[in-house]
Structure 1
Amino acid sequence: MARRALILIEGTQNNGPLYLQAAQRLDLHPITLSADPAQYEYLAAEGIEVVRVDTHNLNALIHECTRLRATYDIAGITSAHEPVYATAGKLCRYFDLPGPNPASIERCCDKFTQRQLLAEAGVPIPAYRLATNATEVESAATEIGLPVILKPVVGGGSYGVRLCRDVDELVEHTTYLLGGKHIWRSSPRILVEEFAKGPLYWTNIMGDEVIGIEAAEFGPPPHFVYREGIFPAPLTDDEHERMADVSLSCLRALSLGWGPTHIEFRWTKRGPVVIEVNPRLAAGPEPVLLAYGIDLVTEHIKLVIGDEWDLRRGNSHIAAWRSLLPDRDGILDWLDGDSRAAALPGVAEVKIYAKPKTAIIRRGDYRDSMGVVIAVSPNLAKTKAILQRAVDLIDWSITPFPTVGEQE
């Protein structure tokens, strides 16, 4: 009998290994299809079967999956990588496998189209305008009023996203985005958006069920790099209900509701305002597993292969995490204390991404994180204390790059 396989299109630093491990626990043989497998170090470390293919070429992917079917029983096809998730949905349609509606995913991944659909449905969102050149950016910012956020219409991980607090910052970031330095995944289109002020939250959804709401914080502006989070968020019943209701309104507006969805909010003076809807899991679903005992990755794969999922809570704890963010650019001389931190009772995981003797260049997006620490306990105060103790044990040294004068 042919071995059951799970096809994974591309991967991610955080969730990629989790999908591989979950597939193996479900007795599936994971096979990753990637245009550049070398970018995922965990593939080589785990000895995972990899096929090199242009993952933006649907016909090439169909050809490879057809070839693999001669050897394996392909139980399902999916992806943890948002840019190719719609393509994974198209493959599922072609091979008559369970999967998301690719048209819904594509509409959602276009932030301007997403905004339009949410606005039409009466979902609370920030004021926004579309711009394709510097004049339109300036005009949109004037209409909305500074400060504004500039972000590429297509993209993720805060890549190319910046808060512009004055005209100089607006001109600077517009020049960066349109001047050839930013790598666009589609034609250059910029979303100019009102800066919604207030605490940050996100909902973790599977199907049409809100699993829980997480509180999060960004590092210092003008960038939007996640610094820490708490799951479940300390909310009143009314606050939780309002965000859950708006989340379900987003699903209806965007024709989502199959598989995972991750929705970001700001709690503003007018209540919950939707910042972004992502048709995927949050980058780091471990807090949900630690706090509630629900493995969202495993349950997603069960859905993908046509099995029945189980979203019942197994426990009720509080999980918290903090990202290790550098305060300067330069060469990472050393990073120490992660093993001591990991050994502390209540510390669930310490992941280190940065390697000594490599360059640290802050880009103002998800790539800035050098690692993450996750803690869990039965109550919020204890979890926070454990996390702080663990983070305090970790230290590093970064030697700044030499200035032009020092090089001469």
Structure 2
Amino acid sequence: MKLLTVETRQYLQYYHSRYQQVEALGAELYVLNGEGTEDFWPADRYRLVGTKNIEDMIATAKQWHAVEDFAGVITFSEAAVVAVAAIAEALGLPGIGVEAALNSRNKLLMRQAHERAGAPIPGFRYVTELAQARDAAREFGYPVIIKPTLGAGSHFVFKCDDDAELVEHYEQAAAGIREMFWANSEADGIDLGPNGLLVESFLDGKEYLMEAVSWDGELYLGSVVDRITAEGGTFDDDVHHAPTSMSAEDLVAVHEVVKAGALAQGLRRSVMHAEVRFHDGRPHLLEIAARVGGGGLDMIARITAEHDPIAAVVAIGADRRPDVRHFRPTGTHITAMCLISEAGVVDRVVVPEEVSGSDRVFLLKITASPGDEIKRPPDGNTILGFLGTTGTSEQDALALMTDFASKIRVEFR
């Protein structure tokens, strides 16, 4: 089976490990990049368009499809979800459709879809100037959240506790989104909806992340992860624990909320990364992305819930029902984190053998290379990589992960 995967703008080598997983599952993977480097993937299965204009990408994909006869088109990149939907439609292959892709990419369109369906969400206002943001904050009451409509990875997402912080962070976010990789990596020639800022009411409960599948009206929560981060003014310092500590009753409520959101967005056959936060004892939708979660969430799903999000991508890409079940934990505990450093230009990252050689480390991925610039809030949200450990309990896994993280050293130029 031949599958085509797409990146509108190549994101380093970040998705290579997932491409390799796709091939390990028996698919032959072909890679189409709009903008990128020449030697990104084996030459006989790689095309570089040289532009991320959607018409040029579609034309290249059509020519290639006529020769290779792809079974489907997939992506792991948030910035390519809409482009992949357009390419799949043009090739007559399975896909979520452009409208559902837009509802799953643009946070304003997503909120509007949720609102129409009556799904529980925070209060929200789309704002184009500071005065509107301040009016929304007065309406909702502090604290409020400010976030980009075309963001990803918590870039330029801020919690504002008062008017002074709103003024400061509004200017930072408004300036930041003009240069943000994820917004600027979307395909050209598609109306993505407003590229601006949302002000949202703050949800004060616990947050959970799910790798899920929607298939013909049913919603499957494949894995459920607790976010255990001690929060500050930004949402970049991600620390996770799985399996979830959520009660059975809360899981039922979350399932219904995610199902309502998926149907509202138009996701009938799709993998999903869903984020939910509780408020006043009820789950509310933060977002539902039409892709699998980043970092090591696919590995976490396999270890703690025997759910394989990558296998689901392959099956759904070929229009086959994936092998999926409702959430059932294995009993293995993990904790995982983003590796955060100070800002600067990386000279090297040093990982001791004690860490890299441990059989309790299931996730160790250094994404920063020598010469990369690490940006930290309010200028950006670049991380060094990811670290995850297993344990007999949350406390056991967390203690080891914290110790190992302290031993990974970054040297700056």
TM bracket (short chain): 0.7 to 0.9
Residue in 2 that maps onto 1:206: 213
Q: Deviations over 1:99-137 (max 9, x none)?
A: 212211212322122212222322221111111122212
Residue in 2 that maps onto 1:289: 302
Residue in 2 that maps onto 1:306: 319
1:353-392 to structure 2, matched below 5 A, reads 353-356=367-370, 358-363=372-377, 367-377=381-391, 379-392=393-406
Q: Please give the secondary structure, in 2, of the residue aligned with 1:98.
A: coil
Residue in 1 that maps onto 2:178: 182
Q: Deviations over 1:254-294 (max 9, x none)?
A: 22231211221222223212222222211132200122332
AA at the equivalent of 1:35: G
Cα separation, 1, equivalents of 2:196 and 2:308:
36
Q: Which of 2, 7, 10 matches 2:4?
A: 7
* Contact 1:34–1:53 under 8 Å retained in 2: yes
2:327 equivalent to 1:325: no
Moved more, 193-202 or 167-176: 167-176
* Contact 1:132–1:188 under 8 Å retained in 2: no
Cα separation, 1, equivalents of 2:210 and 2:292:
10
Cα separation, 2, equivalents of 1:14 and 1:288:
22
Cα 1:69–1:118 shift into 2, 3 Å: closer
Aligned Cα RMSD in Å? Answer: 2.9
Residue in 2 that maps onto 1:269: 280
Q: CA deviation at 1:86?
A: 2.3
Cα separation, 1, equivalents of 2:162 and 2:206:
22
2:247 equivalent to 1:246: no
Q: CA deviation at 1:194?
A: 1.0
Moved more, 61-70 or 127-136: 61-70
Cα 1:314–1:122 shift into 2, 3 Å: closer
Cα separation, 1, equivalents of 2:231 and 2:43:
39
Q: CA deviation at 1:70?
A: 4.2
* Contact 1:200–1:266 under 8 Å retained in 2: yes
Residue in 2 that maps onto 1:67: 63
Moved more, 117-126 or 72-81: 117-126
Cα separation, 2, equivalents of 1:90 and 1:336:
42
AA at the equivalent of 2:273: H
AA at the equivalent of 1:108: S
1:111-260 to structure 2, matched below 5 A, reads 111-179=107-175, 182-183=178-179, 185=183, 187-207=194-214, 208-218=219-229, 220-260=231-271
AA at the equivalent of 2:89: R
Q: CA deviation at 1:218?
A: 4.5
* Contact 1:14–1:283 under 8 Å retained in 2: no
Q: Deviations over 1:31-67 (max 9, x none)?
A: 22222223x99x36x7784322267533222211222
AA at the equivalent of 2:3: L
Identical-residue share of aligned pairs (%): 21
Cα separation, 1, equivalents of 2:343 and 2:30:
37
AA at the equivalent of 2:16: P
Moved more, 175-184 or 116-125: 175-184
Q: Please give the secondary structure, in 2, of the residue aligned with 1:163.
A: strand
Cα 1:137–1:392 shift into 2, 3 Å: closer
Cα separation, 2, equivalents of 1:298 and 1:388:
31
AA at the equivalent of 1:274: L
1:14-25 to structure 2, matched below 5 A, reads 16-25=15-24
Cα 1:28–1:170 shift into 2, 3 Å: same
* Contact 1:344–1:390 under 8 Å retained in 2: no
* Contact 2:237–2:340 under 8 Å retained in 1: no
AA at the equivalent of 1:25: A
Cα separation, 2, equivalents of 1:314 and 1:177:
39
Cα separation, 1, equivalents of 2:126 and 2:47:
38
Larger-gyration structure (1/2): 1
* Contact 1:19–1:298 under 8 Å retained in 2: no
Q: CA deviation at 1:92?
A: 1.8
Q: Deviations over 1:225-275 (max 9, x none)?
A: 042111221121112222112111212222223121122122222321222
Q: CA deviation at 1:364?
A: 5.2
List runs of 5+ in structure 1 lacking aligned partners: 400-408
* Contact 1:110–1:153 under 8 Å retained in 2: yes
AA at the equivalent of 1:236: S
Cα separation, 1, equivalents of 2:247 and 2:352:
35
